[in-house]
């Protein structure tokens, strides 16, 4: 929720706790991917939220949380890096599941209109499979690096510097991009049978491509923010770093 001044300019943005009894849900989530997330619109009409149930986004970004548990590392973790990182956990699982599926069926599937009775016998298939696996591995390594940076600084009671915050957001965008690219390669390897509704690979492909477009992990924006941070150029793109 936004706080605005008399001129309509944004003063701050807040996360708010509200009882579900005061809210309604609009059934709006009709998408090609991530259908299981049930991300419908939650609507609050004329709901009063007391100050103690508000979390200032601007203060959270600066590492200031209204909690009595300041001595616990969990409550010292950098806000936006954590928020970005939690969005790509599903991507990592999707990538691994898709890779297992393609590998598992490779010895049983032919490559249509070729002499290959088994996909696994084709050098081209082998090379593309390796490329996809390396992209998925790269995604995991970047995710783990980001998680380690968040955890270590929180445990040490240190504030994450701006460049590292920008890098962890870029890491999250990189994960989404690498998994999505790996899935495109895996689909090419597996063949047109991917798009049968009974094939789980098409669902992995839809879910990954939908999730990768979340605004907080959109890779070009994340990389622009990181590039500006590395150069010491003012970030006029987003405050969510």
| Cα Dmax for the chain | 73
Q: What is the pTM of this model?
A: 0.89
Query: CA triplet 164, 94, 185: central angle to 5 degrees?
Result: 95
Axis crossing angle, helix 219-231 with helix 162-190, rounded to the nearest 10: 150
Residues with Cβ within 8 Å of 81's Cβ and at least 6 positions away in sequence, in order, are 146, 149, 150, 160, 165, 168, 169, 172
pLDDT in tens, the chain (241 residues): 788 888 888 888 999 999 999 999 999 999 999 998 989 999 999 999 999 999 999 999 888 888 888 888 888 899 999 999 999 999 999 999 999 999 999 999 999 999 999 999 999 999 999 999 999 999 999 999 999 999 999 999 999 999 999 999 999 999 999 999 999 999 999 999 999 999 999 999 999 999 999 999 999 999 999 999 999 999 999 989 9
Quote the CA–CA distance of 105 and 100 in Å, as a whole number: 9
* Domains of the chain, first to last: 2-61 (2.40.110.10), 73-231 (1.20.140.10)
| b/e burial code for range 61-87 (CB count within 10 A of at least 16 → b) | bebebeeeeeeeeeebbbbbbbbbbeb
């Amino acid at each position: 929720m936004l706080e605005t001044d008399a001129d309509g300019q944004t003063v701050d943005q807040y996360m708010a706790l509200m009882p579900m009894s005061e809210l309604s849900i609009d059934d709006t989530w009709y998408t090609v991917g991530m259908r299981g997330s049930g991300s419908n619109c939650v609507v609050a009409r004329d709901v009063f939220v007391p100050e103690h149930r508000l979390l200032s986004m601007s203060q959270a970004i600066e590492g200031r949380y209204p909690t009595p548990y300041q001595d616990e590392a969990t409550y010292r973790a950098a806000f936006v890096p954590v928020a970005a990182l939690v969005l790509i956990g599903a991507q990592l699982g999707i990538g691994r599941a898709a890779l297992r599926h393609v590998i598992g069926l490779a010895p049983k599937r032919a490559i249509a209109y070729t002499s290959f009775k088994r996909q696994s016998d084709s050098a081209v298939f082998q090379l593309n499979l390796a490329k996809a696996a390396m992209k998925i591995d790269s995604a995991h390594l970047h995710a783990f690096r980001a998680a380690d940076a968040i955890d270590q600084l929180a445990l040490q009671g240190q504030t994450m510097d701006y460049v590292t915050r920008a890098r962890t957001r870029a890491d999250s965008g990189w994960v989404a991009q690498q998994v999505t690219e790996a899935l495109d390669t895996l689909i090419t390897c597996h063949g047109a049978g991917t798009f049968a509704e009974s094939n789980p690979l098409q669902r992995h492909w839809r879910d990954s491509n939908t999730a990768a477009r979340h605004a907080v992990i959109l890779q070009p924006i994340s990389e622009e923010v990181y590039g500006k941070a590395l150069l010491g150029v003012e970030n006029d793109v987003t405050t969510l770093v």
